[in-house]
Amino acid sequence: MPRVAVIDDDPVEHLLITEMGGDLMPEAEFECFTTLDAFLQSDVSTFTHIFLDRRLPPYNEYQETLPEIAATGFSGDLVMMTAHDPGQDLGTFEFKLIGPIDKLELIRPDILTPILAGEYLAA
């Protein structure tokens, strides 16, 4: 059963992903965080997926947040959500990086369902 952390400072994004994801995969559990620090203080090991916003104050880019998450030992799927892909090299991590994916694409069932099922293959 997927257990999903949505880390975004915009509560509208929380609502969109949890409502769409819950409709598409009712057995999935969602927990939302408005800051990376709040997420890092949770039991990170319980999550199978992370949906991470690119700009998460005080952080501006994935290069700042991904190492923080890697340091927790997270080993699931991490979906990088953004409205703008800066096309930067992000390095390699123990977890599976998905994206960056435009936030508007995440409300498409053909995109969100395979992500939640752990079957998403980037084009």
How do the domains of the chain map onto residue ranges?
Answer: 3-54+63-101
**47-84 tens-digit pLDDT:** 999 999 988 889 888 889 999 999 999 999 999 998 65
Interatomic CA distance for residues 33 and 19, integer angstroms: 15
| Contact by Cβ (8 Å): 20, 64 | no
SS3 of 52, please? strand
Q: What is the Cα gyration radius of the chain?
A: 13
Q: What do you get for the CA distance between the two ends of the chain, in Å?
A: 25
Interatomic CA distance for residues 30 and 118, integer angstroms: 15
**Which pTM value belongs to this model?**
0.91
Binned at pLDDT 50, 70 and 90, residue 96 comes out as confident
Fold observed for domain 3-54+63-101 = Rossmann fold (3.40.50)
Binned at pLDDT 50, 70 and 90, residue 123 comes out as very low
